[in-house]
Amino acid sequence: MAVRAVRGAIQVDANERADILAGAAELVTEVMTRNDLSTDDVISVIFTATADLNAEFPALAARQLGFQEIPLLCGTEIDVPGAMPRVVRLMMHVETDKARARLQHVYLRGAAALRLDIAQ
């Protein structure tokens, strides 16, 4: 098995606890589904949120999805002027037999514009 990293992002509607948790849960679920992963495959997950999202930790959504024994970390994305607002990002480290080129990075809602080079 190789250790690989999968990236993803989602733009949420508002700086509200429910919106952050729903968006982060949707992102984690979609990364897991598209890459045929189980929690046993996940080593760790790093979440970042833009500075305008501070109503909840995105990692809580992963905990609520069953990521109980997986190390999770939240941070603030660099506050670049003019950058897309209200974005939760993740980098998930996994063990997998898939080649790096076969992994599916996931960009949802408005965040799809961040990576137009990746088919959604």
Q: Of residues 17, 63, 100, 102, which has the active-site annotation?
A: 63
- Model confidence band, residue 113 (pLDDT cutoffs 50, 70, 90): confident
Please indicate whether residue 42 or residue 111 has the higher confidence score (pLDDT): 42
Mean residue pLDDT across the chain: 95
The pLDDT of residue 37 is above 80:
yes
Q: pLDDT (tens digit, 9 = 90+) per residue, 73-97?
A: 999 999 999 999 999 999 999 999 9
> If you search the block for the tokens 């984690």, which residue do you land on?
28
Q: Active-site residue 86, yes or no? A: no
Q: Active-site residue 115, yes or no? A: yes
Q: Of residues 4, 26, 56, 107, which has the active-site annotation?
A: 107
Q: Of residues 4, 56, 86, 89, which has the active-site annotation?
A: 89
What domains can you pick out in the chain, each with its CATH number? 2-115 (3.30.1330.40)
Q: Of residues 30, 34, 109, 115, which has the active-site annotation?
A: 115
The share of the chain scoring above pLDDT 70, in percent, equals: 98
The pLDDT of residue 119 is above 60:
no
- Model confidence band, residue 120 (pLDDT cutoffs 50, 70, 90): low
The pLDDT of residue 14 is above 80:
yes
Q: Active-site residue 102, yes or no? A: no
Q: Of residues 7, 30, 34, 109, which has the active-site annotation?
A: 7
Q: Active-site residue 77, yes or no? A: yes
Q: Which residues contact 67 (CB under 8 A, 6 or more apart)?
A: 28, 39, 42, 45
- Cα distance between residue 76 and residue 8, in whole Å: 15
Q: Which amino acid is at 52?
A: D
Q: Active-site residue 74, yes or no? A: yes
